[in-house]
Amino acid sequence: MYYVLTLLVILLDQWTKWLIVASMEMGESVKVMNDIFHITSHRNRGAAWGMLEGQFWLFYIITAVVVVALVYFMQTEAKGKPLMKTSLAILLGGAIGNFIDRLFRGEVVDFIQTFIFGYHFPIFNIADAALTIGVLLLFGAMFIEDQKRKRE
């Protein structure tokens, strides 16, 4: 069931990226909510915020290690811990989503542009959002597990 969640994240990520590539020119932007949320066609050849641009071999190695680690933890540490398994499944989907872009496009398609309290947050995608949500859920799961151990 958790791998189905991973697959759903990957499919949603790849479908939305395909829509952007197929229907928008690079740099084109559509206001969804003025000064809050835009859909902006952008490409990223690096990691978060464009760091380490063009270092694909490094991303391939890191992603392979992360995917193996996530699957391992889902099968071992997260047994009987639904929130932890959910967080790892979402993280796995996000990691694979951006990996697919790097592997087949040579760049990551980003398109979600937000303006939070006037700050122009870097443009991101569904895979990036999944990674962020997965990390937050993982912290929550770890906190809950820690509280359970303290009570026992």
The residues that are catalytic are: 110, 128
Local structure of 107: helix, strand or coil: coil
Contact residues for 116 (Cβ-Cβ < 8 A; gap 6+): none
For residue 29, give both structure tokens: 């932007």
Q: What is the dihedral of CA 8, 25, 110, 11, to 10 degrees?
A: 10
